Amino acid sequence: MKLTIDGTEVEAREGTSVLDAALDAGVFIPHICKHPDLEAVGGCRLCSIVVDGEGPAVPACKTPVREGMVVDSHAKAAEDVRRTAMELILATHPSDCTGCPKYGVCELQSMYQYLGVSPARWRCRARTVATDDSNPLITHMFTRCIRCGRCVRACRELRGVGVLDYQRTPEGIRIGIDGGVSLEEAGCRFCGACVEVCPTGSIVDTLGLAKEGRSREDNVVPCRSGCPAHIDIPRYLRHVKNGEWEKATAVVRERVPFPETLGSICTHNCQGECKRNHLEGPLSICRLKRAAAVRDTGEWRRRTRHDAPTGKRVAILGAGPAGLTAAYYLAEKGHHVVVFEAEQKAGGQLRYGIPAYRLPDEVLDREIQAILDVTQGDDAEPRVEIRCGERVRDPKALKSEFDAVLVSVGTFDGTVLPTPGHELEGVIRNTDFLKAARKGEPMDVRGRVVVLGGGNVAYDCARTAVRLGATSVDVCCLEAEAVMTSTPEEREEAAEEGVTLHDAYAFTSIDESADRPGHVGAMTVHKIAKFYFDEQHRPVTELVEGGELTIPADYVIFAVGQKPEDTRDMGLELTHGPYVVADAEHRTSEDGVFAAGDAVTGTKSVIGAIEGGRESAQAIDRFLGGDGDISEVLLDADAPVQRIGKVPAGFYDGPTEPKMEPAQERKADFRPYECPFSESEAEHEASRCLQCDLRLTLTRPRLWNEY
Amino acid sequence: MAQELETDVVVVAAGLSGLAASIAAAEGGARVITLEKASNTGGAANMGMGPCAAGSPVQRASMIEVTPGELFRRHMFYTHYQVDPRLVRAYYFKSGDTIKWLQDMGVVFNSVRPAFRARERTRAYADGEYTWHVVQPEDGSEPGPRAATTMIKRMTERANDLGVEFMFECPGKKLLVNDEGAVCGVVATNKDGEEVTISCQEVIVATGGFGNNAKMIHDKIGLDWGKNLYSFAVPGMDGDGYNMCHEVGAGHTPVTMEMMYQLPDNMNHFYVEGAFRQPCYWCDKTGERFMPEDDIFNTTFVGNAINHLPGKVAFSIFDSKMLRHWKKDGPDIVSHVHPHDLYQGFDEQWQRDLDTYMDGAGNHVIAQADTLEELAEKIGIDPEGLVQNVEQYNEMCAEGYDELFEKEREFMMPLEEGPFYVCRQYVGAYGTLGGVLINHNMEVMTDDYKVIDGLYCVGTDACTIYGDSYNYSIPGNTMGFCLNSGRIAGENAAERVAESAGDEDWD
């Protein structure tokens, strides 16, 4: 139907309000209690209009459109009501906005800019209400509240939670929680809808939550931005919650080809970012990925990209997570890929660096096979060839046969420090030790073992030594426990298996055995009082006087870092020793030769290497004339349920713990000891997700300056 | 995916100076893209009431004779010629016409005012000129704080009409420089976190200083926000422009803050803050008075004074009799910032805050006690010093003459009747001023005074004209400089664009 608003002819559907019709047509009528996603209540009266030139002013948000109606938002009656309404709003709102976190993005500020500020007619009475920062994640600063009720409607109607309501107090009506209890006691789901719809700075994300230099979206959903591959975590957790394992895995697979592997061993930076850390502890995101992956039936395979062959050929050096990921996406873009792998089997660090009790061969074999199968699809020939046992030393030479080369050789050269005694027999490199165990030819460490280092690799070595029959295992590291890079769970589980930690010790000497000349007999370390970097970024250690400790040892394993092998003679520009220089597009100094993964970044994480593989695949595709778009849509788009309802039982429980083999049993062999979550455990754990991403589905109101 | 755009002039930030620059450049025929970190225009100017000008039509119509040259001299005497006279001249001599320019856009000025009228004996030093062009609010009502938002609205509408393309929630991050060292573009980040590269001929940086960046304030000014400084921290004023300009070799100027005084989290303690801004008994932590309290309405003087006290803190004390007097007769000094019903709201706020109101360093901000010793103990003044000094002060009150400072005798009220009330007073400030070296065309220069082609810096990022203190005697100065520096830069940028367009025709 057609109507006229402020002189402009506007078309609108029946049932629309005059306000929506005007805003849709680009005619701005002031309003503040109306939010695009919330029911109109006609409370603020800023949208006052006069219809057909007669009668009193009515709120446009509550007036349905009518054929031929003539609306005037500037009629005197409307302007009078609007002016009084705005004066009343501003009369109790602080007049100084400078300390407000919403400054510049505040809807009220935009509105008073549009309408002008005229407080003079009223005796102003600022209603100071103490700032309530006692709740996690959400801070209430109700001094700034204008009682528009958007938060109340969002919480009650949009979300079905109903925590916030109008409260009658001696100073007047204000927003609050029934009974004055905490948000958690009231049953808040911390979805943030109230924060999102608040037009002022009354309900805000707790200060400090948002990181500078991160986009709004990334700050609202920090888990997703914390994941190097940006897996859509809230989306797959919703599917896990509903027991939709295939869909959950498909979401993960849209970004990475190793869901179960990652579900077993990922460093899960996402969990460190999870907003639940401010409540009872983060979601077990990583384990939920595994819970879905082990139940996956492979439905996603039907929907992979599988572009037509391009006839281009790419060589990849190293079949680790970076190389295999790049291989997958390049093949799906239609390129033919040959992966050269120096070892006997594909997998890189996944195979030869991570112990089998964390990631068994079967899982890895299955996911690598899936890459080969999916990329071949219905083609006659495979698109990805993995040539094991072929160590390539000169990537440039491959350019005659291939259109592009990717160097993703990882870091397989374990570091041995020049500590006195490091050349003694019984001193072992982490890389050699773990690889031998994984190849089924383990080193003999049946004796007293000392592991030097504090990262996860050190613990992999320590726990492998336990399983190989070491009589004692001690871990010594420079860092104090609080700043060790290994995860606390890793240390805890190792301790249960009998591993002793000596944190904050400097490595003094590896001592020769009195009985067996030339062989390790003990490890001497010295307690550190203080460890820091000076102004020139040099490490400084201050030792505790008399803090020397000698640990009897038959074997000393260095687990203090590892670096790339083979890169020195590749003829590529290197940095910090053996690391390959690659730019943001993963290009090396040699045209057509790209590099990714640990060989570029230093030993990082599997998920980091996978993201390196993704990015280099995009760059190589563009180099080969493609569009660089490797995205895949493996399941239908779904709109998350907005009305999440009251808190389910157990919503405020801590993280669900998986079942594990007891330490005494698991330390006897290399079988995985952690069970995947059962279906009910997984569904329960996933239901703890705050669904921070729901906030981003809310409409952001357009301000007057955008009309 | 990264977005790439091309235009003639990019203005970085749409505060008052950025808006003026955008409009002036567009009026000069240039295509303009204006980046803004927030979703509103106006930046800090949304808080103000109006700009300073000399020789404006409004002044003339009110028979207020203030010529640009007169103001120029007054300004230079106030700053003892410590600031760039050509820059000051450029500003004042443009300012009258800028008022007309704004009127042509539809901005209405309610009146021209001084900030305050000083008492007779300090008039020569502390009086204000009639330069403050207070904006008439949209609905015709009497102007109050934030009246200038109506001017921002008119300017935003004017910019839109001229085809200025605003990009909101899209802060400028980096300036691009070509092989000749000229600035030739800006990299920004849009609301989805994606990079936007805009190539252009001229860039005008107008990002408003770094009042919200505690680290930069510490590093460049030496004050600790939340510890010994409680200045305005307007979100977004993070030093973006300062850093961007210096990255491409801009020269350095000292950075200052316009000192005043304020309480921590003052919005939530407004009645307390207002109640203590009276000519009662003000002292430092030894208990000694430091100024005639009849001057405490001059926030610049008091802010500067506190900044030089031990621990950068002062204490304002009154007794029960004074409180009764203010409740009955109203405050001795009225501020247009604090609530009118100050003392009606006082008791309630006082009781609520008494045990809970702390500053960022862990001190109680306020205290109450039946004796002065106890009061001093509670708030951190030397008790012996306070008692001794108050004794002398009370004697002077009885004599009716302040031997120490010749404070106005009507305010010589003794501290006698408990309970006594005390409040810490801290250094506050509006924002930061200066940092980027410019000439009187608003062109950015290197430390060797060589112009960086294609780059202008305006508004508070480049405002070095105050010297050490806020020039309260020429009110409206911050907005005035922003407006006029922005306008001048916009005009110059458009002129350069037009000139080079001519070049191309000849090629």
What one-character-per-residue DSSP string does A392-409 give? -S-GGGGGGT-SEEEE--
Mean pLDDT within B82-110? 97
* Residue where one domain finishes, among candidates B388, B413, B429: B429
Using the beta-carbon criterion (under 8 Å), do B137 and A114 form an inter-chain contact? no
Our CA-based measurement puts residue A371 at a distance from the nearest CA of chain B, in whole angstroms, of 27
Using the beta-carbon criterion (under 8 Å), do B268 and A130 form an inter-chain contact? yes
Q: A28 CB near a chain B CB, below 8 Å?
A: no
A707 part of a folded domain: no
Using the beta-carbon criterion (under 8 Å), do A128 and B42 form an inter-chain contact? no
- Would you put residue B180 in left (φ > 0), alpha (ψ -120 to 50) or beta? alpha
Number of domains in chain A: 5
- Residue of B40, B210, B344, B350 to mutate when probing chain A, most A C-beta within 10 A: B40
Q: Which residue has the tokens 């910019």?
A: B159
Torsion of CA B37, B43, B46, B50, to 10 degrees: -150
pLDDT, tens digit, for every residue of B414-457? 999 999 999 999 999 989 999 999 999 999 999 999 999 999 99
Using the beta-carbon criterion (under 8 Å), do A117 and B144 form an inter-chain contact? yes
Between the CA of residue B236 and those of A101, A336, B212, what are the distances in Å? 9, 50, 7
Mean pLDDT within A490-517? 96
A573 and A519, same structural domain?
Answer: no
The reported pLDDT for the residue numbered A621 is: 98
* Residue where one domain finishes, among candidates A512, A546, A563: A563
pLDDT, tens digit, for every residue of B246-295? 999 999 999 999 999 999 988 778 889 999 999 999 999 999 999 999 99
B109 and B243, same structural domain?
Answer: yes
Look at the pTM and tell me if it is higher than 0.90.
Answer: no
Give the tokens for residue A182.
Answer: 């905490």
**Strand B9-12 to B172-177 pairing:** unpaired
A294 and A153, same structural domain?
Answer: no
The CATH number of the domain where A195 resides is what?
3.30.70.20
- CA dist., res. B145 & res. B128, Å (int): 18
CB A285 within 8 A of CB A275: no
The CATH number of the domain where B384 resides is what?
3.90.700.10
Our CA-based measurement puts residue A121 at a distance from the nearest CA of chain B, in whole angstroms, of 8
CB A673 within 8 A of CB A463: no
Our CA-based measurement puts residue B369 at a distance from the nearest CA of chain A, in whole angstroms, of 24
pLDDT bucket at A632, cuts 50 / 70 / 90? very high
A112 part of a folded domain: no
Q: Which helix (H) or strand (E) holds A595?
A: strand A593-595
A90 part of a folded domain: yes
Chain A residues inside the 8 Å CB shell of B166: 705
Our CA-based measurement puts residue A703 at a distance from the nearest CA of chain B, in whole angstroms, of 8
B300 and B242, same structural domain?
Answer: no
- Residue of B41, B258, B267, B426 to mutate when probing chain A, most A C-beta within 10 A: B267
Q: Which helix (H) or strand (E) holds A54?
A: strand A54-59
The CATH number of the domain where A426 resides is what?
3.50.50.60
Q: A561 CB near a chain B CB, below 8 Å?
A: no
Closest residue in chain A to residue B262, using alpha carbons only:
A99
Using the beta-carbon criterion (under 8 Å), do B232 and A117 form an inter-chain contact? no
Chain B residues inside the 8 Å CB shell of A217: 192-193
Using the beta-carbon criterion (under 8 Å), do A117 and B269 form an inter-chain contact? no
A394 and A332, same structural domain?
Answer: yes
B452 and B340, same structural domain?
Answer: no
The CATH number of the domain where A14 resides is what?
3.10.20.740
Residues 90-119 of A with CB under 8 A from B: 94-106, 109-110, 112-119
A419 and A406, same structural domain?
Answer: no
Q: A216 CB near a chain B CB, below 8 Å?
A: yes
pLDDT bucket at A244, cuts 50 / 70 / 90? very high
Q: Which helix (H) or strand (E) holds A289?
A: helix A285-293
Using the beta-carbon criterion (under 8 Å), do B47 and A97 form an inter-chain contact? yes
The reported pLDDT for the residue numbered B269 is: 85
The reported pLDDT for the residue numbered A96 is: 80
Using the beta-carbon criterion (under 8 Å), do A96 and B192 form an inter-chain contact? no
Mean pLDDT within A300-324? 97
Closest residue in chain A to residue B141, using alpha carbons only:
A118
Residue A124 has pLDDT above 70, yes or no: no
Q: Which residue has the tokens 């010093």?
A: B385
A697 part of a folded domain: no
Our CA-based measurement puts residue A691 at a distance from the nearest CA of chain B, in whole angstroms, of 19
The reported pLDDT for the residue numbered B452 is: 98
Chain A residues inside the 8 Å CB shell of B143: 120
Q: B487 CB near a chain A CB, below 8 Å?
A: no
B191 Cβ neighbours under 8 A, 6+ residues apart: A215, A216, B168, B169, B170
Between the CA of residue B93 and those of A29, B5, B67, B71, B256, what are the distances in Å? 40, 36, 9, 9, 24
A555 and A526, same structural domain?
Answer: yes
Residues 168-197 of B with CB under 8 A from A: 168-169, 189, 191-193
List the alpha helices (DSSP H) in A69-175.
Answer: 76-92, 107-115, 150-153
How many A-B residue pairs are in contact by the CB < 8 A criterion? 146
pLDDT cut 90: percent of chain B above it: 81
Chain B residues inside the 8 Å CB shell of A108: none
The reported pLDDT for the residue numbered B119 is: 76
CB B174 within 8 A of CB B186: yes
**Residue-wise DSSP of A464-510:** HHHHTT-SEEEEEESS-GGG-SS-HHHHHHHHHTTEEEEESEEEEEE
Count, residues in chain B = 507
pLDDT, tens digit, for every residue of A141-159? 998 999 999 999 999 999 9
pLDDT, tens digit, for every residue of B101-142? 999 999 999 999 988 777 777 777 778 899 999 999 887 888
Mean pLDDT within A13-25? 96
Q: Three-state SS for A296?
A: coil
Our CA-based measurement puts residue A567 at a distance from the nearest CA of chain B, in whole angstroms, of 33
The reported pLDDT for the residue numbered B142 is: 82
Q: Which helix (H) or strand (E) holds A556?
A: strand A555-558
pLDDT, tens digit, for every residue of A381-406? 999 999 999 999 999 999 999 999 99
B419 and B439, same structural domain?
Answer: no
Number of domains in chain B: 2
Give the tokens for residue B7.
Answer: 């235009």
Residue B356 has pLDDT above 80, yes or no: yes
B440 and B423, same structural domain?
Answer: no
- Residue of B149, B187, B270, B365 to mutate when probing chain A, most A C-beta within 10 A: B149
Q: B61 CB near a chain A CB, below 8 Å?
A: no
* Residue where one domain finishes, among candidates A73, A96, A119: A96
B162 and B303, same structural domain?
Answer: no
Chain B residues inside the 8 Å CB shell of A134: none
Closest residue in chain B to residue A201, using alpha carbons only:
B235
B187 and B152, same structural domain?
Answer: yes
Chain B residues inside the 8 Å CB shell of A703: 39-40
A538 and A421, same structural domain?
Answer: yes
Q: A357 CB near a chain B CB, below 8 Å?
A: no
Q: Which domain holds residue B329?
A: 260-429
The reported pLDDT for the residue numbered A169 is: 85
The CATH number of the domain where B200 resides is what?
3.50.50.60
Q: B226 CB near a chain A CB, below 8 Å?
A: no
pLDDT, tens digit, for every residue of B391-426? 999 999 999 999 999 999 999 999 999 999 999 999
Residue A602 has pLDDT above 90, yes or no: yes
- Residue of B22, B108, B136, B138 to mutate when probing chain A, most A C-beta within 10 A: B138
A535 and A456, same structural domain?
Answer: yes
For all residues of chain B together, what is the average pLDDT? 93
* Residue where one domain finishes, among candidates B407, B429, B451: B429
* Residue where one domain finishes, among candidates A209, A224, A244: A209
Using the beta-carbon criterion (under 8 Å), do B337 and A96 form an inter-chain contact? yes
B268 and B241, same structural domain?
Answer: no
Mean pLDDT within A1-9? 95
pLDDT cut 90: percent of chain A above it: 89
pLDDT, tens digit, for every residue of B18-60? 999 999 999 999 999 999 999 999 999 998 899 999 999 999 9
Q: A596 CB near a chain B CB, below 8 Å?
A: no
- CA dist., res. B204 & res. B300, Å (int): 30
Residues 325-384 of B with CB under 8 A from A: 337, 339-341, 345, 349, 352, 356
B391 and B309, same structural domain?
Answer: yes
Q: A89 CB near a chain B CB, below 8 Å?
A: no
Mean pLDDT within A174-195? 94
Phi/psi at A39 (nearest 5 deg)? Answer: -60, 140
B413 and B391, same structural domain?
Answer: yes
pLDDT, tens digit, for every residue of B313-332? 999 999 999 999 999 999 99
A658 and A546, same structural domain?
Answer: no
- CA dist., res. B361 & res. B351, Å (int): 22
Using the beta-carbon criterion (under 8 Å), do B40 and A703 form an inter-chain contact? yes
Chain B residues inside the 8 Å CB shell of A142: none
The reported pLDDT for the residue numbered A212 is: 81
ipTM of model: 0.84
For all residues of chain A together, what is the average pLDDT? 94
Using the beta-carbon criterion (under 8 Å), do B156 and A103 form an inter-chain contact? no
Q: A76 CB near a chain B CB, below 8 Å?
A: no
A218 part of a folded domain: no
pLDDT bucket at B507, cuts 50 / 70 / 90? very low
B225 secondary structure, DSSP code: B
Using the beta-carbon criterion (under 8 Å), do B139 and A216 form an inter-chain contact? no
Q: Which domain holds residue A278?
A: 234-300+651-691
Q: Where are the beta strands (DSSP E) in B215-291?
A: 256-262, 281-283
Residue B504 has pLDDT above 60, yes or no: no
Mean pLDDT within A82-111? 90
- CA dist., res. B462 & res. B130, Å (int): 25
A57 part of a folded domain: yes
CA of residue A577 relative to chain centroid, distance: 31
Burial class, A216, CB count within 10 angstroms (exposed 0-12 / middle 13-18 / buried 19+): middle
The reported pLDDT for the residue numbered A41 is: 95
Using the beta-carbon criterion (under 8 Å), do B266 and A99 form an inter-chain contact? yes
Paired with B459 in beta bridges are none
B345 and B233, same structural domain?
Answer: no
B322 and B249, same structural domain?
Answer: no
